[in-house]
Structure 1
Amino acid sequence: MKTESGGDISWVTDKLRETQDSEFLIFKGQTFTYDDLLTRISFFQKELEQNGIREGECVALIGDYSPNAIFLLMTLLLNRNIVVPLSNESREKHLDMFEDAKVNQIIEINENDSWTLREGSESAAHPLLDDLRERGESGIIIFTSGTSGKSKASVLSAGRLLEKYKTAKRKPLRTLIFLKLDHIGGINTLFAILFNGGTIVTSDSRTPESVYQAVDKHAVQVLPATPTFLNMLLMSKADAGYNLSSLRLITYGTEPMPQSTLRGIHRLFPDVRLKQTYGLTELGIFSTKSKDSQSTWMKVGGAGTETKITGGTLWVRSESAMLGYLNAPSPFDEDGWYDTGDQVETDGEYIRILGRKSEIINVGGEKVFPAEVESVFLEIPNVRDVLITGRKNPITGEIVAAEAVLEKEEDIKSFRKRAVAHCRQKLQPYQIPQIISVTDRKLSNDRFKKIRNV
């Protein structure tokens, strides 16, 4: 494989061979070793050739973390394809995604792990894809979550993403893989497990009960999740009856962590280390260090990553950054810096993420960060979940609105009175929601991240 800017991944099979006798995957009661992975990669290399999938083609891979999905992902990357991982939950967007990503072939894997292949469109030129092909590199196209607008197609060099794992030597752990295959956090977790010789554990579904069951049954040591899902764990009270003593580490990221949720998870798992992660689809996932398990302060950086704070916003320059978007202008400045849009506070080397600049609610010139208000609201008895947004107001510009999901039915007037009384004890007057409504709709998307573009 041709190499440029970290594009060479010919080392991958040798790295996997180092742990060939170890368990690499537990899926629906079946266990697969790294030797099985290598054997199936060889099998699928022949299948790709027989089915006419040429190097450089864009191939959509629709599925979850089943054996064949992982086998095919690794085979396609080694075949120098540009892979577009997609989930079944985003199916209504697939046609647009196929078009944006210039997909030539579509591989779909069903719940029984059977796979089918169908043709996409004819090869379509795009400078970013042509660049990868000319360098003989494999790539990954990941769509942003679109929680605050249209999903953008980010083109990443597989070689750049994998470079940090080339000499990885962390202790192999059993990790429940939670974030989906179409998410940069999910892809990062998958690679981190594989190239450290760890074991991927899958759950039957992404529900608190199913996750607890998998932790108990397979002695899971690491649980990567989102703040939204960790709040679901707290609200479910489903931990009773499960042996969760194997858990050593819970990581969380993708959105700001409400302090009340973090405190609750620490009380639920007092002996488990809690670590905040940080990354973006456009940049990859970075090395982080939390101040402690009860703190949302963290250090962000690591080899190949630079950070700076400009106007209270975090900017990052990274060697693993994407090449650009297929369906939007490049977001990088002329020196390669990326504005994350995350407003932060600083304390020496540590930063604390307050929220996205685009999500700030401006109440008469005062900044309100939704996560801060949500944290207080989640302390209110009978509140299962809440979404804080801004509503236009002719006097103050915006006011704060709260949309709550309740544990059980309650008189709305009584609930509003309780909620306002609680908020008055914890928040400044301009932060207190002026509009409080109750809903039974889902407040997060299929990536377990709050939907704020409603």
Structure 2
Amino acid sequence: MKNPAHNRSRLADYLALIPQDRTFLVTAKSQYTFGDVTALCQRFAAEHAYLANSNCAVTSDDRESLALFFPAIDSVCQTVFLQPNDIEGAESDFYTSAGIDYVIKLADCNFVSITAVAVNDKVSYAQQQAYLLATSGTTGTPKLANYTLDTLLATAKLDVNRGKDFNWGLAYDLNRFAGLQVYLQSAVSGATLVVPSDAMTIAELVQLFTKSAVNALSATPSFWRKLLMDPFHTDIPLQRITLGGEISNQSVLTALSRSFPQSAIIHIYASTEAGVGFVVKDQREGFPLTYLDDDQHIKCQLKVCQGVLWIKSTNGCTQLLKGKLEVDEQGFVNTGDMVNIDGDRVFFLGRESGSINVGGNKVMPEKVEAILEMHPSVLMATVFAKSNSVLGALVACEIILAPDAKHIPVKELKRELLSFCREKLETFEVPALVKVVDAIKVNSTGKKVRS
């Protein structure tokens, strides 16, 4: 049975259509049925009727609390701003842009407080039921995007009967676009969502996902590389693997296909501003050149101008309340992602604003990382700029070694890596500094931090 309510205005409307005894949320400590969450929505609406038609920012100390209370808050408030934890100090600016009336604070699967916001000169905007999401700001100032529920659900599968067969794992924060997409897919299809604590180690997360029989998981390539390092990662009974948020290079796609040969592996192109763009199902990096020719397999239009990808999609945000987008006269949005056309394939190079200037030469960190991660001794790499008085910047990198490479003397290993890079990169792209580390930092969206 397909969920017939694609035009429902509230998330709670969809939850009410799911068999109420079906498990919706699973955490390390508890689990909740769809009936439990529906009842919570009803109690919240009765106890907090004064929030009706208000704009609310929601902060949470943990993923579990937001996953549990999000439908309840959405059932009453006019606008919900899923506030990330990394905008500390800039809250008032966001609240002004979003016209926020109240801040709802959650922790330990409970309400901590609901506080009225005194903001002068609130920005007014075309107001309807809306969801506000901040971009990660990885390569610039964070933006604030306005979405409707219909737009967020444009690519969701609504088959409730089929949904019962899926146990999704949540590897993103719920207050980011990718995390919200996974949450909504689970909610409207009647699937189970396994929500790990963001304080869990990879080993603990693998144990939880294995115990909970997670068979569908969406995450950044950086997350997948970390998961692949765990010796028990193949115990997770994955049937559907999705990569997004970063460039999915061939080495990680190949590694996943070896560990999970029976799984469907796709990588997805999406952004907070443009929404879900397209998916690639052939387990090859990049995407087919035919996608630039109004390919019927994708629900957006693409073009490349001066090496940069532009997209036109009906799944994008309704408007930006903070920040700006570059939009041409045809309605195409500049994604800021640099690409290269090679034969029948279009390959991503990296963010236009994230390049390293080495003596006037542009170096894309993602390109260098992809080469390093092709080497059998490297599990994961991050590339960043190091200041230099002569060239302006040098290319530096940190690498995590594969287990069978840890016995190799560091000097010998570095010589081998640099020789490997010189065969595949321009001279100015070869790392000048190589450091072996035990871990590589990622931000709240699961993307590598290049500093």
TM-score scaled to structure 1, two decimals? 0.82
1:280 and 2:274 correspond: no
Q: Give the conservation status (yes or no) of the 8 Å contact 2:97–2:122.
A: no
Looking at structure 1, the residues matched to 85 and 287 of structure 2 have their Cα atoms a distance apart, in angstroms, of 35
Could you tell me which residue of structure 2 aligns to residue 3 of structure 1?
A: none
* CA offset digits 1:245-283 (Å, max 9, x no partner): x21011111011232222222222222221101111112
Q: Give the conservation status (yes or no) of the 8 Å contact 2:341–2:347.
A: yes
Looking at structure 1, the residues matched to 89 and 410 of structure 2 have their Cα atoms a distance apart, in angstroms, of 35
Looking at structure 1, the residues matched to 344 and 43 of structure 2 have their Cα atoms a distance apart, in angstroms, of 48
The alpha-carbon distance between structure 1 residues 76 and 162, as it changes in their structure 2 partners (threshold 3 A), is: farther
Looking at structure 1, the residues matched to 161 and 219 of structure 2 have their Cα atoms a distance apart, in angstroms, of 20
Q: Give the conservation status (yes or no) of the 8 Å contact 2:277–2:299.
A: no
What letter matches 1:378 in structure 2?
A: E
Equivalent residues in 2 for 1:228-247, closer than 5 Å = 228-239=222-233, 243-244=235-236, 246-247=237-238
Which deviates the most, 377-386 or 443-452? 377-386
Tell me the CA shift for residue 449 of structure 1. 0.5
Could you tell me which residue of structure 2 aligns to residue 193 of structure 1?
A: 186
1:75 and 2:65 correspond: no
Looking at structure 2, the residues matched to 71 and 237 of structure 1 have their Cα atoms a distance apart, in angstroms, of 31
* CA offset digits 1:66-85 (Å, max 9, x no partner): 2x533532233333422121
Tell me the CA shift for residue 103 of structure 1. 3.1
Tell me the CA shift for residue 24 of structure 1. 1.6
Tell me the CA shift for residue 405 of structure 1. 4.8
What letter matches 1:82 in structure 2?
A: T
Could you tell me which residue of structure 2 aligns to residue 307 of structure 1?
A: 302
1:270 to 242, 255, 261: 261
What letter matches 2:144 in structure 1?
A: A
The alpha-carbon distance between structure 1 residues 58 and 150, as it changes in their structure 2 partners (threshold 3 A), is: same
Could you tell me which residue of structure 2 aligns to residue 62 of structure 1?
A: 60
Tell me the CA shift for residue 343 of structure 1. 1.5
1:369 and 2:364 correspond: yes
Aligned with 2:322: secondary structure? coil
1:138 and 2:135 correspond: no
Tell me the CA shift for residue 198 of structure 1. 1.1
Looking at structure 1, the residues matched to 88 and 390 of structure 2 have their Cα atoms a distance apart, in angstroms, of 42
Looking at structure 2, the residues matched to 302 and 48 of structure 1 have their Cα atoms a distance apart, in angstroms, of 45
Looking at structure 2, the residues matched to 376 and 303 of structure 1 have their Cα atoms a distance apart, in angstroms, of 29
2:243 to 252, 268, 286: 252
Q: Give the conservation status (yes or no) of the 8 Å contact 2:145–2:318.
A: yes
The alpha-carbon distance between structure 1 residues 346 and 194, as it changes in their structure 2 partners (threshold 3 A), is: farther
Could you tell me which residue of structure 2 aligns to residue 34 of structure 1?
A: 34
Equivalent residues in 2 for 1:3-14, closer than 5 Å = 9-10=8-9, 12-14=11-13
Tell me the CA shift for residue 232 of structure 1. 1.0
Could you tell me which residue of structure 1 aligns to residue 3 of structure 2?
A: none
2:196 to 198, 203, 210: 203
The alpha-carbon distance between structure 1 residues 306 and 348, as it changes in their structure 2 partners (threshold 3 A), is: farther
1:116 to 109, 112, 115: 112
Which deviates the most, 221-230 or 438-447? 438-447
Which deviates the most, 31-40 or 378-387? 378-387
1:297 and 2:296 correspond: no
Q: CA RMSD in A?
A: 3.5
Q: Give the conservation status (yes or no) of the 8 Å contact 1:278–1:285.
A: yes
Q: Give the conservation status (yes or no) of the 8 Å contact 1:98–1:120.
A: no
Aligned with 2:31: secondary structure? strand
1:422 to 402, 420, 436: 420
Looking at structure 1, the residues matched to 79 and 120 of structure 2 have their Cα atoms a distance apart, in angstroms, of 13
Q: Give the conservation status (yes or no) of the 8 Å contact 1:11–1:166.
A: no
What letter matches 1:209 in structure 2?
A: A
Which deviates the most, 273-282 or 321-330? 321-330
Could you tell me which residue of structure 1 aligns to residue 167 of structure 2?
A: 174
Looking at structure 1, the residues matched to 396 and 111 of structure 2 have their Cα atoms a distance apart, in angstroms, of 46
The alpha-carbon distance between structure 1 residues 77 and 164, as it changes in their structure 2 partners (threshold 3 A), is: farther
The alpha-carbon distance between structure 1 residues 207 and 97, as it changes in their structure 2 partners (threshold 3 A), is: farther
The alpha-carbon distance between structure 1 residues 277 and 169, as it changes in their structure 2 partners (threshold 3 A), is: farther
Aligned with 2:46: secondary structure? helix
Tell me the CA shift for residue 385 of structure 1. 3.5
Could you tell me which residue of structure 2 aligns to residue 325 of structure 1?
A: 320
Could you tell me which residue of structure 1 aligns to residue 16 of structure 2?
A: 17
The alpha-carbon distance between structure 1 residues 422 and 141, as it changes in their structure 2 partners (threshold 3 A), is: same
2:104 to 103, 107, 124: 107
Looking at structure 2, the residues matched to 301 and 104 of structure 1 have their Cα atoms a distance apart, in angstroms, of 43
Q: Give the conservation status (yes or no) of the 8 Å contact 1:175–1:200.
A: yes
Tell me the CA shift for residue 383 of structure 1. 4.3
Could you tell me which residue of structure 2 aligns to residue 344 of structure 1?
A: 339
Looking at structure 1, the residues matched to 121 and 329 of structure 2 have their Cα atoms a distance apart, in angstroms, of 25
Equivalent residues in 2 for 1:160-171, closer than 5 Å = 160-165=151-156, 171=162
Q: Give the conservation status (yes or no) of the 8 Å contact 1:258–1:372.
A: no
- Tell me the percent identity: 25
Looking at structure 1, the residues matched to 304 and 122 of structure 2 have their Cα atoms a distance apart, in angstroms, of 33
Gap runs ≥5 in structure 2: 1-5
The alpha-carbon distance between structure 1 residues 171 and 344, as it changes in their structure 2 partners (threshold 3 A), is: farther
What letter matches 2:132 in structure 1?
A: I
Which deviates the most, 363-372 or 169-178? 363-372
Q: Give the conservation status (yes or no) of the 8 Å contact 2:310–2:332.
A: yes
* CA offset digits 1:85-122 (Å, max 9, x no partner): 13456657656654554432222221x21112232422
Could you tell me which residue of structure 2 aligns to residue 154 of structure 1?
A: 145
TM-score scaled to structure 2, two decimals? 0.83
Looking at structure 2, the residues matched to 185 and 72 of structure 1 have their Cα atoms a distance apart, in angstroms, of 18
The alpha-carbon distance between structure 1 residues 65 and 440, as it changes in their structure 2 partners (threshold 3 A), is: closer
Equivalent residues in 2 for 1:373-388, closer than 5 Å = 373-380=368-375, 383=378, 385-388=380-383
Could you tell me which residue of structure 1 aligns to residue 218 of structure 2?
A: 224
Gap runs ≥5 in structure 1: 1-6
Could you tell me which residue of structure 1 aligns to residue 177 of structure 2?
A: 184
Equivalences, count:
435
